[in-house]
Structure 1
Amino acid sequence: MTAPTFREPKPPVVAAPYWTEERAAVQAEARRFATEEILPVADELDPQKAEIPRSLLERLAKQGYFGITVSTELGGMGLGVFEYCMISEELARAWMSTASIIVRAQGAMGVNVADPQRRRALIERSAQGEWIGAAALSEPDVGSDLAAVRTRAVLDGDEYVITGEKRWCGNALAADFIQVFCRLADPEPGQSRAVGLGSILVEKERGSFPEGLTGTPIDKIGYHGFVTWNLTFDGLRVPAANRVYPKPAGDLTPLTETEAVSTAGFKAVEAELNTARVQTAARAVGLARGAVEDSLAYLQRREQFGRPIADFQYLRFLIAEMAARVEQARAFYQQVAHMIDAGLPCEREAAMAKLTASEMAAEVTAQAIQLHGGNGYTTEHRAERYWRDARLTTIFEGTSEIQRKIIADRLLPKSPLG
């Protein structure tokens, strides 16, 4: 596979409301980095189902991409969700796993412990790519219905004892920590009393699991770059100080009395999902854009009946439709990212952006395989990789069906009899 020539993004003819020179520079650097430094690695390692090498993680850290949304005071780039999604699109265009690994830092996961000084240190490490984690949310029988989790963390003195099973935990073995969403419980004589849902921070060494935790890798058809795990917790003991509280990312103030007893873990996860869904929309756009750009090059290179197939009107119309859908999805995710940065409620819009972008990406990348003909059904071209990874965007961070439910419930509140 030949890496495409780096092309600096061009400003729109009429400046978009979100377009600034600063953002243009951030996008251009992300595109250069993705094209020149990520894409060759992806072309080599993705067919092997290999993990992102440590050397590439270090280069991502040097770029500042693990701390895009972390304040400059804490060692980050000090940018917003808009730039976070814009950079994610560029990284996903090269290898979606790199746009996913940066999610596991950003000072938003695995840092909100009670001690403000420790919280600050973890955020700083996160921004530097030295504190990269994994999120254990889903379970074998619990997917989108996170309120039904069964994994329990029972307080025993100054430790929590975690028991249960988690599924779809990406990067678990290579991570510095795993944030486990579970049902918290306080002990009573002969039983434990459930007190709510929350997260516990499991610190670990990279490349190993602590005593009381075992894992089995899950073989996937795509989304290579890091391994996804099924985890079993069998009495894993974690310091009580590792409980994670629902505080805004970067808030270094001591816990209030209300926060200290809060069990609003489910609400906190829901709020984080808005950003996660818009970032997934950006990743989907990156994959679809890669499919369009590679298809354009292929149509001009491939000849049939004595001329490039790019001359055939039907194929020209197909690629035009594909390109238009990519632009539409990008405009939508940027609008919602702007809403998040402005502090506006956007649960419905985030679900819409994720739904439209992911479904678009699955269809556009499938069309790219068709445009490549028989060559599209080989691993000699990237079209199949774009499709394998794009297909997943309709499933994780809430399936398309869940997004439709969220949207419908906000458009059509159910009647008391419903």
Structure 2
Amino acid sequence: MPDRSAEPVDRQLPTEEARDLLAMVRELTRREIAPRAAEEEAAGVFPRDVFRLLSASGLLGLPYDEEFGGGGQPYEIYLQVLEELAAARLTVGLGVSVHTLACHALASFGSKEQCADHLPDMLGGGLLGSYCLSEPSSGSDAANLRTRAVRDGDGWSLTGTKAWITHGGVADFCTVLARTGGEGPRGITAFLVPADAPGVSAAVPERKMGMNGSPTAQLHFDGVRVPDSRRIGEEGQGFSIALAALDSGRLGIAACAVGLAQAALDEAVGYAREREQFGRPIADFQGLRFLLADMATRVEAGRALYLEAARRRDAGRPFSRQAAMAKLFCTDAAMAVTTDAVQVLGGYGYTADFPVERYMREAKVLQIVEGTNQIQRMVIARHLAGPESR
């Protein structure tokens, strides 16, 4: 991977503090994350020590309130940190995004007492979170989930199976959406569940195309006892809590996609400058120069799109449509840019000796997680044309 610290991305950062934060993150990724990425991804090694380091460095709670151990940073800054982490290793960038998603319900809808009790450890205490919404029979149709929570004395008993859970089997806590009422979205409630609670177990991790260092597994809940003090929000409010979290989470996925695409572009440009054919660098050939130009344009456009959505969020303005657009465009761009990077490197790009084949495999999942890109188009169209009539 090229040394990205030598030619940093041109960023318009609003404060000196933000510039120092990005410089620190870039140095951390150069020293602690990037050198291990290829070897550990090939071996399927989850870098738990890196997440502990990020927590100790204050990078696992950047967009949350300083009162509870967060960084107090606007989303505009947090997402650029996420982009840097993903450019070094997607397993780390996506992992931070998922952890932030797992904290969102409590930070945004929990009581002051709940936040004081739990958020400091979640944001800066070395804990790692997972977000449990999808199930084997309800992915895009999340409102049709079947995991059930029933009253059990002064608490709840959770039973069911969650699927496609990032950090499944390695997380310390889970934000779980479960059915407490009738069918449909109004019967769902959110809970904060310790991952080591009796009755919680993880299946064997999925065998995936990419992201082998990031465990994805089903989580089983077998009569898991949860006190009512760990219910987040009101009964039946869980689905709206989940959707609010996903709006913000989609911006995280968009930023990760841009980071991955930037890494692929950097690799392709570096190779094109050095590789010679017909007595000259291949970067001199117009066909390849145009390919690089299109790649760079996609990266810049994606970055501008997610930052504009983040600024709307930071200003308290509606941003759901813009978040869906950013997730859709940036992840499609990452798939295109990584595919083109393989083409630039030719036969070498198809081998594991260069990282672009890994980038291409990793890019695919970004078009699927936290709402497929088909779902994003539905969200955007709903904002433009209203709900479908039936």
What TM bracket, shorter-length normalisation?
over 0.9
* Cα drift, residue 306 of structure 1: 2.1
Q: Which residue of 1 aligns with 2:359?
A: 386
Query: Residues 57 and 70 (structure 1 numbering): CA distance in 2 closer, same or farther, change over 3 Å?
Result: same
Which SS does the other structure have where 2:208 is aligned? coil
Aligned partner letter, 2:192: L
**Is 1:268–2:241 an aligned residue pair?**
yes
Match of 2:252 among 264, 267, 279: 279
Q: Relative to structure 2, which stretch is displaced further, 65-74 or 97-106? A: 97-106
Q: Which residue of 1 aligns with 2:169?
A: 173
* Cα drift, residue 291 of structure 1: 0.4
Q: Which runs of 5+ in 2 are unaligned?
A: none
Match of 1:342 among 289, 296, 315: 315
**Is 1:365–2:360 an aligned residue pair?**
no
**Can you list the C-alpha shifts for 1:140-162, whole angstroms capped at 9, x where unaligned?**
11012211111111111123222
Query: Residues 323 and 25 (structure 1 numbering): CA distance in 2 closer, same or farther, change over 3 Å?
Result: same
Q: Relative to structure 2, which stretch is displaced further, 212-221 or 262-271? A: 212-221
Match of 1:163 among 159, 163, 173: 159
Q: Relative to structure 2, which stretch is displaced further, 110-119 or 70-79? A: 110-119
* Cα drift, residue 36 of structure 1: 2.5
Q: Which residue of 1 aligns with 2:71?
A: 77
**2:130–2:174 CA contact under 8 A, matched in 1:** yes
* Cα drift, residue 22 of structure 1: 3.4
For 1:300 and 1:204, the matched residues in 2 are separated by 49
Q: Which residue of 1 aligns with 2:140?
A: 144
For 1:271 and 1:97, the matched residues in 2 are separated by 24
For 2:218 and 2:15, the matched residues in 1 are separated by 43
For 1:368 and 1:234, the matched residues in 2 are separated by 46
For 1:414 and 1:76, the matched residues in 2 are separated by 37
Higher percent of residues as helix: 2
**Can you list the C-alpha shifts for 1:183-215, whole angstroms capped at 9, x where unaligned?**
0149xxxxx9x972012222134xxx7335342
Aligned partner letter, 1:219: R
* Cα drift, residue 402 of structure 1: 0.3
**Can you list the C-alpha shifts for 1:290-315, whole angstroms capped at 9, x where unaligned?**
00000011111212222221111111
For 1:322 and 1:115, the matched residues in 2 are separated by 45
Structure 1 or 2, whichever has the larger Rg, is 1
Aligned partner letter, 2:35: P
**1:112–1:119 CA contact under 8 A, matched in 2:** no
For 1:10 and 1:378, the matched residues in 2 are separated by 27
* Cα drift, residue 413 of structure 1: 2.2
For 1:109 and 1:41, the matched residues in 2 are separated by 33
State the identity as a percent.
Answer: 37
Aligned partner letter, 2:325: M
Q: Which residue of 2 aligns with 1:249?
A: none
| TM-score of the pair, normalised by structure 2 | 0.92
**1:9–1:27 CA contact under 8 A, matched in 2:** no
* Cα drift, residue 69 of structure 1: 1.3
* Cα drift, residue 115 of structure 1: 6.4
Match of 2:204 among 202, 216, 225: 216
Aligned partner letter, 2:76: F
Which SS does the other structure have where 1:202 is aligned? strand
Aligned partner letter, 1:138: S
Matched pairs, number: 387
For 2:110 and 2:296, the matched residues in 1 are separated by 48
Superposed, which structure 2 residues align to 1:291-306 within 5 Å?
291-306=264-279
Which SS does the other structure have where 1:142 is aligned? coil
Query: Residues 204 and 140 (structure 1 numbering): CA distance in 2 closer, same or farther, change over 3 Å?
Result: closer
Match of 2:21 among 23, 26, 29: 26
Q: Which residue of 2 aligns with 1:257?
A: none
Q: Which residue of 1 aligns with 2:59?
A: 65
**2:272–2:282 CA contact under 8 A, matched in 1:** yes
Aligned partner letter, 1:152: R
Pairwise CA RMSD: 2.3
Aligned partner letter, 1:196: G
Which SS does the other structure have where 1:108 is aligned? helix
Aligned partner letter, 1:45: E
For 1:411 and 1:294, the matched residues in 2 are separated by 38
Which SS does the other structure have where 1:372 is aligned? helix
**Can you list the C-alpha shifts for 1:256-303, whole angstroms capped at 9, x where unaligned?**
xxxxx4421111111111111111111000000000000011111212
For 1:74 and 1:226, the matched residues in 2 are separated by 28
* Cα drift, residue 409 of structure 1: 1.4
Aligned partner letter, 1:123: L
Q: Which residue of 2 aligns with 1:121?
A: 117
**Is 1:100–2:94 an aligned residue pair?**
yes
**Can you list the C-alpha shifts for 1:196-254, whole angstroms capped at 9, x where unaligned?**
2012222134xxx7335342311111123321111222322222322122xxxxxxxxx
Which SS does the other structure have where 2:146 is aligned? coil
For 2:330 and 2:369, the matched residues in 1 are separated by 13
Q: Which residue of 1 aligns with 2:43?
A: 48
| TM-score of the pair, normalised by structure 1 | 0.86
For 2:254 and 2:29, the matched residues in 1 are separated by 18
**1:113–1:241 CA contact under 8 A, matched in 2:** no
* Cα drift, residue 63 of structure 1: 2.3
